[in-house]
């Protein structure tokens, strides 16, 4: 009975240790692809304009670090005045009120704005992070297989009587 209980516990721990990094990797790749598609769309269909920083949004991060996201104001080609945060200009330094930045905005949704970059830097970082997560999940699955199958994967020619 204890053996059966430890087997279920092993399955639960393995599922947890494998699924969490896998989910994180898939989430990072999904977010990166969405960001890349948005950057590509704005590069093709977006309008460039000058925007002026009107304030900073502060976000607390890990270890007490604060990130400053500039809130900019600009006027669309249709004459509409827009105030929106520009996430990809965020950093650990406050942005001076009145500073000008060139941005690209979506003419159909002007609140969607970003710096006119290629947008691939974040994608590469997210893919690298996802590959590390997948590697950790694979290593956890490999190492936990010995517990679940009652074998030692480091013994040459190991086999299992597990069906």
**Could you tell me if 68 and 54 lie in one domain?**
yes
Task: Give the chain's radius of gyration (CA, Å).
Answer: 24
Examine the domain organization and report whether 51 and 97 are in the same domain: yes
Model confidence over 78-105: pLDDT tens digits?
899 999 999 888 888 888 899 999 999 9
pLDDT at residue 118 is higher than 80: no
Residue 114 lies in a domain: no
Task: Give a yes or no: residue 96 inside a domain.
Answer: yes
Whether 158 shows a pLDDT value over 80: the answer reads: no
**Structural domain contains residue 72:** yes
Residues 18 and 67 in one domain: no
**Cα–Cα distances in angstroms (integers) from residue 150 to residues 3, 61, 143, 157, in the given order:** 11, 43, 11, 14
Does residue 112 lie within any of the structural domains?
no
- What residues form DSSP beta bridges with 100? 52
Number of domains in the chain: 2
Is 51 part of any domain? Answer: yes
Q: What share of the chain has pLDDT > 70, as a percent?
A: 80
11 with 40, same domain?
Answer: yes
* Claim to verify: residue 95 and residue 133 sit in the same structural domain: no
The answer to whether residue 1 scores a pLDDT higher than 50 is: no
Please check the confidence at residue 7 and state whether its pLDDT lies above 70: no
139-157 pLDDT, tens per residue? 887 777 665 555 555 555 5
Q: Are residues 142 and 161 in the same domain?
A: yes
81: left (phi over 0), alpha (psi -120 to 50) or beta: beta
Same domain, 146 and 131: yes
pLDDT, tens digit (0-9, with 9 covering 90-100), for 11-70: 777 778 888 888 888 998 898 888 888 888 888 888 999 999 999 988 887 777 888 999
Fill in the DSSP letter of residue 62: G
pLDDT of residue 16: 80
- Give residue 2's pLDDT band: very low, low, confident or very high (50, 70, 90): very low
In terms of residue numbers, what domain contains 75?
Answer: 47-105
Domain assignment present for 32: yes
Q: Are residues 29 and 55 in the same domain?
A: no
Residue 113 resides in a domain: no
Three state DSSP letters for 140-151: HHHHHHHHHCCC
**Residues 99, 53 share a domain:** yes
Predicted confidence band of residue 76 (pLDDT cuts 50, 70, 90): very high
pLDDT at residue number 53: 94
Q: Does 52 share its domain with 95?
A: yes
């Amino acid at each position: 009975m204890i053996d059966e209980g430890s087997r279920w516990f092993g399955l639960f721990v393995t599922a947890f240790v494998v699924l969490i990094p896998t989910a994180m990797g898939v989430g990072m790749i999904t977010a990166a692809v969405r960001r890349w598609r948005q950057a590509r769309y704005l590069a093709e269909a977006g309008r460039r304009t000058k925007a002026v920083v009107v304030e900073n949004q502060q976000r607390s991060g890990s270890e007490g670090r604060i990130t400053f996201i500039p809130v900019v104001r600009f006027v669309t080609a249709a004459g509409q005045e827009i105030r929106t945060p520009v996430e990809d200009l965020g950093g650990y330094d406050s942005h001076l009120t009145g500073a000008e930045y060139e941005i690209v905005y979506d003419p159909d949704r002007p609140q969607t704005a970003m710096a006119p970059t290629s947008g691939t830097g974040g994608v590469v970082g997210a893919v690298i992070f996802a590959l590390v997560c997948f590697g950790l999940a694979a290593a956890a699955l490999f190492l936990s297989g010995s517990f679940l199958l009652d074998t030692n994967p480091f013994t040459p020619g190991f086999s299992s009587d597990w069906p």
